[in-house]
Amino acid sequence: MDKHWYEKKKVTVMGLGLHGGGLEVCRYLSRLGARVTATDLRSAQELAPSLEKLKGYPIRYILGEHRTEDFREADVVIKNPAVPVDSPYLKGVKRIETDLSLFLQFTENPIIAVTGSKGKSTTVTALHHILKGDYPDCRLGGNITVSPLSFMDELKGTEPVILELSSWQLADLRDRDLLKPQISLITNIMHDHQNRYSSMEEYVRDKEEIFLHQQEDQNALFPLNSWGRSWARKTRARVNFFSLEGEEEDPRLRFFLKKEKGYVRTENEDVEILPPVLAVPGRHFRGNMLLAGAAAVLYGVSPERVRSRLASFEGVPHRLENLGIYRGISFVNDSAATIPDAMIAALESYEKPPLLICGGTDKELDMSPLEGLDGKSAGIFLLAGSASERMIPYFKKSGISWQGPFGSLEEAFEKAVAAASEGDMVILSPGATSFGMFQNEFDRGRQFIDLVRKLS
C-alpha cells in the first residue's frame, strides 16, 4: 500500500509502550500526515520517557484506559505485538497493522530474519557486527527494541536489514504474504510463552511464518532435529541444516560445532568460521556465533572475514554481560535469561560455580531443566514471584539450599555479596520473566548494574 494512503487517516496506536515500537509508529505516521491517537493502559507518569520523545508531534493521547470508540472510529489500528489478536478492542476494527507490517509493506531492502526461543538477540547483534564490515549501512531492528520504522527513511533500498522477530510479531504477519527474507533462521525451539499459547505446536506454528513465503532462490537455516526436518518439508527455500550438538558426521549438515570449533561444510573441505577465542565464555554463546557466521556466509561473506570479525565481537547487554570485578568479586548480568534452560546454560558457561540470583514471575514454563541445577551454583538467592514458588520444589527434591524469596533485587543482591568471597562470581540469571518487580528484563538488568556500580 502507498505511504500516502495514511495522509489524514485516523490511526489508533494500541500500546505506546517503552520499547520504541509504538513511539516510532506515532512518529512515522505523524510525518505521513495521519491523525494519530495513542492509547495505553499505563499512566502518563509510567510512559514519561516515550512521551518526552514525542514532544512536538500532533498526537492525541488516551492513557490509563482504552476506549472502544478510539478503535471503532479508526481507519487503522496499529497494535503492539504483546496485545493478543482476540482482544475485545480489536473486534470489528477496519484494519490492523503493526510497526513491522508497515515496514515490510514499504521497504524494498533485502531482509535477513531471525527467530527462536533463545539466542536470537545475541545472534542478530553478532551478525550485524559481521555484515557492517562489507555493508556499512546494514541495519538491525525488530524485537531487539529497535523499530525498523526508526530507520525507514534512511534506507537506500539495497543495504541488508536484519530483523529479530518474536513469535508474537510473526503471528501478526500470518497470512499476509509480507515476509519473504533472503535468509531465514530459527535458532532453536524451547518451552517459552506458554502462558500465551495453548500448546507447543501453536507456538511453533507462529515461528514457521518466518519461512513460509520464501522463494526457491532464498535460504533457510534450520537445526538438524525433528523440528528442522519438518520445516524443510514446508518451505520452498534452500534448506541449510546446522547442529550445535556434535553431530558433524551427518552429510546433510552445512554448519556445525566440533570440539568447540565452528565449521561451514563446502564441497571440498570443512572450513572454520569461528575464531579460537571469543569474548564471552560458554558453549551456547559459541553456538550463537556459529549461527551468526552461518547467516553471514549465506549472504556472501567469506569464512575468513567472518572469523576475523567475530574475534572483535564483545557480546550483548543483559546476556552474560561481564560487569567487572568489585571487592574481588566478579559480576555478570544475564537478565535476559527468562527461561530455566537459559539459566542452566549460563551456569554451565563457567568452570567455577557462581552464586546465582534467580526467580521472578511465572509464564507456565517447563521447570524440569532445574533438575540439572545441582552442583552448578555455589548459592541461590531467590527473588519473590510465582516462578520462584515453582522452583522451590525442585530445589527441595535435589537437596539444594537457597535463601529468600526476597522482596527486592537489592535485598537478594546484598545477601549474595555477603556470601561471596574473593574470587567468587555473582550472576543474575533469573530463569523467569521480570513482570511484577520490574518493568521488563532490561529494567531488571539495569537495576542489577546500578547495584554493582554502587559497590565501587
- Compute the average pLDDT of residues 170-194: 89
Q: Are 293 and 319 contacting, i.e. CB atoms less than 8 angstroms apart? A: no
- Compute the average pLDDT of residues 91-97: 94
Residues with Cβ < 8 Å from 357, sequence gap 6 or more?
381, 383, 409, 412, 413, 416, 426, 427, 428, 429, 430, 448
Q: Are 6 and 25 contacting, i.e. CB atoms less than 8 angstroms apart? A: no
Helix, strand and coil content of the chain, in percent to the nearest 5, comes to: 35, 20, 45
- Compute the average pLDDT of residues 341-369: 91
Find where cell 478492542 sits: 89
Residue 159 in grid coordinates? 543495504
Q: State how beta strands 238-243 and 253-258 pair.
A: parallel
Q: Are 344 and 190 contacting, i.e. CB atoms less than 8 angstroms apart? A: no
- Compute the average pLDDT of residues 346-358: 94
pLDDT band at 323 (very low <50, low <70, confident <90, very high): very high
Give the model's pLDDT for residue 21: 82
pLDDT band at 365 (very low <50, low <70, confident <90, very high): confident
Q: Which domains does the chain have, with CATH numbers?
A: 9-97 (3.40.50.720), 101-310 (3.40.1190.10), 321-454 (3.90.190.20)
Separation between Cα atoms, residue 6 and residue 2, nearest integer Å: 8
Give the model's pLDDT for residue 374: 84
Give the model's pLDDT for residue 383: 97
pTM of the model: 0.86
Give the model's pLDDT for residue 191: 67
Residues with Cβ < 8 Å from 60, sequence gap 6 or more?
35, 36, 37, 38
Q: Are 165 and 104 contacting, i.e. CB atoms less than 8 angstroms apart? A: no
pLDDT in tens, 415-430: 999 999 999 999 999 9
Separation between Cα atoms, residue 336 and residue 20, nearest integer Å: 18
Q: How does DSSP assign 258-298, residue by residue?
A: ETTEEEEE-SS-EEE-S-S--SS-SHHHHHHHHHHHHHHHH
Q: State how beta strands 35-40 and 10-14 pair.
A: parallel
pLDDT: which is higher, 51 or 2: 51
Q: What is the mean pLDDT of the chain?
A: 93
- Compute the average pLDDT of residues 247-269: 89
Give the model's pLDDT for residue 329: 97
Separation between Cα atoms, residue 45 and residue 244, nearest integer Å: 45
Separation between Cα atoms, residue 311 and residue 322, nearest integer Å: 17
Asked whether residue 247 carries a pLDDT value surpassing 70, the answer given is no
| Percent of the residues in the chain that have a pLDDT greater than 70, as a whole number | 98
Asked whether residue 223 carries a pLDDT value surpassing 90, the answer given is yes
Least confident of 29-38, 60-69, 80-89, 444-453: 80-89
Asked whether residue 271 carries a pLDDT value surpassing 60, the answer given is yes
- Compute the average pLDDT of residues 142-161: 95
Give the model's pLDDT for residue 1: 64
Q: Are 334 and 270 contacting, i.e. CB atoms less than 8 angstroms apart? A: no
Amino acid at position 14, single letter: M
Q: Are 283 and 240 contacting, i.e. CB atoms less than 8 angstroms apart? A: no
Residues with Cβ < 8 Å from 283, sequence gap 6 or more?
244, 257, 260, 345, 348, 349
pLDDT in tens, 49-76: 999 999 999 999 999 999 999 999 999 9
CB burial string 132-150: b at 16+ within 10 A, e below: beebeebbbbbbbebbbbb
Give the closest residue to 163 by CA, choosing from 295, 27, 288. 295
Amino acid at position 317, single letter: P
pLDDT in tens, 378-424: 999 999 999 999 999 999 988 899 999 999 999 999 999 999 999 99
